Amino acid sequence: MLNETIESRFKRWLVEHHGAVLKVARAYTLNNHDCQDLAQEVLLQIWHSLPQFQGQSDASTWFYRVALNTAISWHRKERRRQTSQQPILEIEEFFDFGLDSTEQLVQRELVERLYVAIRQLPKTDAALVLLHLDDMSYCQMAEVLGISESNVGVKLNRAKKALGELLKEESHES
């Protein structure tokens, strides 16, 4: 893949890592329209940044770093632009395979509760949780976020506790 073009690398990595883009976009937005807008913004930034990729990190790590940095920047701009957003009403079709409609509904509700809770975390904590949910190693998370591995462990444990509390609070409210 030494002679691989930027376009072919972009297409290949998109197939391999598109899930990261969707997860990050979904965690930083409240509705499907904004999620799609942010995903497009992330892909555009990845396209523009790809020629500068030096291969010093794993492709998935680099993909996440670009996605998270773009999402954080986009979120700041959107927060200034919109004083409030409506809660998510649309939900993507993640669980279509082998589940009956009741199981699909339960899965969707669980995923929705998780994303609502993740959105309430500080942005660095939300990013750590997303990376953890994608089974990234502490080393990879540290590289994406630019912090030490030991700091990843400490921050991730705190984020998990906060997420657990948020989910517990929501279940008490419902």
130 contacts: CB under 8 Å, gap ≥ 6? 23, 24, 27, 68, 118
Give the Cα-Cα-Cα angle 139, 141, 147 (nearest 5 degrees). 85
Distance from C-alpha of 18 to C-alpha of 25, rounded to nearest angstrom: 11
Residues 136 and 73 in one domain: no
Residues 72 and 111 in one domain: no
Question: Full-prediction pTM beyond 0.85?
Answer: no
Residues 118 and 80 in one domain: no
Residues 111 and 172 in one domain: yes
Q: What is the pLDDT of residues 39-75, one digit of tens each?
A: 999 999 999 999 888 888 888 888 888 999 998 888 7
154 contacts: CB under 8 Å, gap ≥ 6? none
Domain boundary among 60, 84, 108: 84
Q: What is the pLDDT of residues 65-84, one digit of tens each?
A: 899 999 888 877 776 655 44
Residues 80 and 139 in one domain: no
Residues 78 and 114 in one domain: no
Q: Answer yes or no: are the C-beta atoms of 117 and 163 closer than 8 Å.
A: yes
Q: Taking each helix axis as running N to C, give the angle between helix 123-133 and helix 6-27, from 0 to 180 degrees, rounded to the nearest 10.
A: 120
Q: What is the pLDDT of residues 136-157, one digit of tens each?
A: 888 888 888 888 989 998 999 9
Parent domain of 60: 1-84
Residues 113 and 173 in one domain: yes
CATH code at position 129: 1.10.10.10
